[in-house]
Amino acid sequence: MTSGTAISAQRTTPLDVAAVRQDFPILRQRVHGKPLVYLDNAATTQKPQAVIDRLVRYYTEDNGNVHRGVHWLSERATDAYEAARDIVRRFLNAAESREIVFVRGTTEAINLVAQTYGRTHVGAGDEIVISTLEHHSNIVPWQLLCEEKGARLRVIPISDSGELDLDAYQKLLGDRTRLVSVVHVSNALGTINPVDEIIRLAHRRGIPVLVDGAQAVAHMKVDVQALGCDFYALSGHKMLGPTGIGVLYATSSLLEAMPPYQSGGDMIRSVTFEQTLFNTLPYKFEAGTPDISGAIVLGTAIGYLTQVGLDRIAAHEHELLEYGTDALSRIPGVRLMGTAKQKAGILSFVVDGVHPHDIGTILDREGVAIRTGHHCCQPLMHRLAVPATARASLALYNTRDEIDALAAALGNVREVFA
């Protein structure tokens, strides 16, 4: 984590990982007769009991449609839904709740921006800047937009350690740049990008910046106003919440000026067959019945994260990252990919002579869940000249013992492929 978080974390008590683990019922399971060691948190995180309970309670006590009923349940559901929006606002330190748009996830948030802001602001000959580290969901929507408009996608290169080349970035920014869209924390390598600097440089030229925060929000404090970003995208399921819910943060001035994304119920003020007046923010961007329970439960997940404390979580994960980096570096034949100075809890690696897919299968038999493959980052894999990597990704409930289990299971891999 950044030194700032590490220092402030020292003032608080360290995270009580045993107590945290008690809150996650799924972690008590055994897999193939071994204790589950869940190290695939970048794919999706597990859920605390409070989140699971809130979901059940919503359908047991609160279920009604939002913004359309005068009856008691509809009011209850609406209140809880809007309260969740304000929880997200506070969590990201956005200025106003209407800057929080509920979507399905990071992917939809980026597509929303591409289809609305992008289609109205990007034209032939214009340029969009992304980076080599991007997830496919922050590449393909822009590629499609560029194809449609005759615009050009420019890509910030990285160093071998997985850090963005900021000099090259500055040179990419030009009169035709209409948007910069970069990942906050790389899901494949763990690099924490200097998004504040990236934003500052873009804003000097009046270029708006979208930050893909999918891998950041559950692992470090994020303040969208301090960053000054124009758009911030996140997924609930990667931050202890349910699948199917995510958030697009955008400044109200941008949202006001953007055309709607999808159309239908809830997003309109009045409809005649001649004309439709769109609803106010954020409802203009929330067509149809939203994922009401998902939003409410996301609020519960955020409550859990803030209660444990993001500084504490960041410090805990950083300590584990160092422990894991050390443990894996000691295993002969294991090569870590992504060694940026600023790194979140992601250990991407390859093993000499063993394909990541085989590593994944052998580890699974030891109860150790990791991800193997290209991590939806094929251009990055190409840059690193590997077809795939194995990736262990950490969360607040992971322990040193689990890192030891990972290292021991990697010993088995070497035994099988000796």
Partner 1 sequence: MMSDLQELYQEVILDHNRRPRNFRALDDARKAEGYNPLCGDRLTVYLRVDDGVIKEATFQGSGCAISKASASLMTESVKGKTVAEAEALFERFHRTVTASPDAPVEDLGKLSVLAGVRQFPVRVKCATLAWYALRAAAEARGDVVSTE
Ligand X SMILES: Cc1ncc(COP(=O)(O)O)c(C=O)c1O
Residues that bind partner 1 (CB under 8 A): 32, 353-358, 361-362, 365, 372-374, 378, 381, 387-388, 412, 415-417
Q: How far apart are CA 34 and CA 215, in angstroms?
A: 28
Diameter over CA atoms, the chain: 73
Q: How far apart are CA 89 and CA 95, in angstroms?
A: 7
With CB under 5 to 8 Å by kind, the binding choice for 215 among ligand X, partner 1, none is: ligand X
Interaction site with ligand X (CB under 6 A)? 42, 105-107, 135, 137-138, 183, 187, 212, 214-215, 235, 376
- For partner 1, the closer of residues 294 and 367 by Cβ is 367
Q: How far apart are CA 66 and CA 69, in angstroms?
A: 7
How many CB atoms are located within 10 Å of the residue 61 CB? 11
Q: How far apart are CA 365 and CA 391, in angstroms?
A: 16
Query: Which helix H or strand E contains 141, and what residues bound it?
Result: helix 140-149
Pairing between β-strand 389-393 and β-strand 371-373 as defined by DSSP bridges: antiparallel
Residue of 130, 136, 134 whose CA lies nearest to 376: 136
Which contacts (CB < 8 Å, 24+ apart) does range 2-11 have? Answer: 2/192, 2/220, 2/342, 5/220, 5/221, 5/310, 5/311, 5/314, 5/315, 6/314, 6/315, 6/318, 8/311, 9/311, 9/312, 9/314, 9/315, 10/315
Instruction: Provide the total of helices (H) and of strands (E) in the chain, helices listed first.
Output: 16, 17
Q: What are the distances in angstroms from CA 247 to CA 37, 48, 150, 253, 315?
A: 29, 20, 29, 17, 25
Q: What are the distances in angstroms from CA 381 to CA 136, 249, 329, 373, 389?
A: 12, 29, 21, 9, 8
Q: How far apart are CA 303 and CA 91, in angstroms?
A: 9
- In sequence order, what are the beta bridge partners of 350? 335
What are the DSSP E strand ranges found in 265-337? Answer: 268-271, 276-278, 334-337
Give the helix, strand, coil percentages of the chain, each rounded to 5.
Answer: 45, 20, 35
- For ligand X, the closer of residues 132 and 215 by Cβ is 215
Please say if 376 is a catalytic residue.
Answer: yes
Q: How far apart are CA 197 and CA 171, in angstroms?
A: 14
Is-contact 242 294, C-beta < 8 A? yes
Pairing between β-strand 246-250 and β-strand 231-235 as defined by DSSP bridges: antiparallel
Residues involved in catalysis: 376
